[in-house]
Amino acid sequence: MAQLHELVTPDSICLNARARNWRSAIRVAGKLLINAGVGSPAYTDAMMKNVDEHGPYIVIAPGFAFAHAQAPGLVQRTGMAWVRLRKPVKFGNELNDPVTLIAALASADSTQHIQAMRQLITLVDNDQTRARLQTAADVQDFMAVLGHLNRQ
């Protein structure tokens, strides 16, 4: 099973991205997935539809959203994108808005990403790790934080 840092490449991380609202924030993440050969434009639409239909439940911790969709037919391979926004946006989650950090997962099946999800939960539960992602100076520092989760 894939580790969290194995699903991310330097090209699938965008630091200090600009977004007007939650939709454009998810589009940034979706474009990273597309450029990495992981997702498709239809998968990006499915992630937004997920929020439209189920509300902002993807905002799972203060300032952190986990964008995803159940649409394996729209995914070429399992992968992940990370977006850190320059200015936070609101998703409509009273408890955890506004969001500055978004992880987007595209899974080709129902099992490849399980270990990565365990590590993501560890990340979300740790205020210090989230803070390190918020303040990483560059993509290499960001990747180092994700790789550190594998050793915990």
Handedness of CA 117, 34, 50, 60 (dihedral sign): positive
- E strands in 5-128: 13-17, 59-61, 64-67, 79-89, 99-106
Residue 122's closest CA among 79, 73, 64? 64
Alpha-carbon torsion, ordered 37, 41, 47, 53, to 10 deg:
-160
pTM value is 0.91
Residue found by looking up tokens 């799972």 in the block: 60
Tens-binned pLDDT, residue by residue, of the chain (152 aa) = 566 777 889 999 999 999 999 999 999 999 999 999 999 999 999 999 999 999 999 999 999 999 999 887 899 998 999 999 999 999 999 999 999 999 999 988 766 657 667 778 888 888 898 899 999 999 999 999 888 655 54
Q: What are the residue ranges spanned by the domains of the chain?
A: 4-147
Q: Please say whether the beta carbons of 101 and 83 come within 8 A.
A: yes
Gap between the Cα atoms of 74 and 46, Å rounded:
9
Neighbours of 21 (CB within 10 A): 11
CATH for 4-147? 3.40.930.10
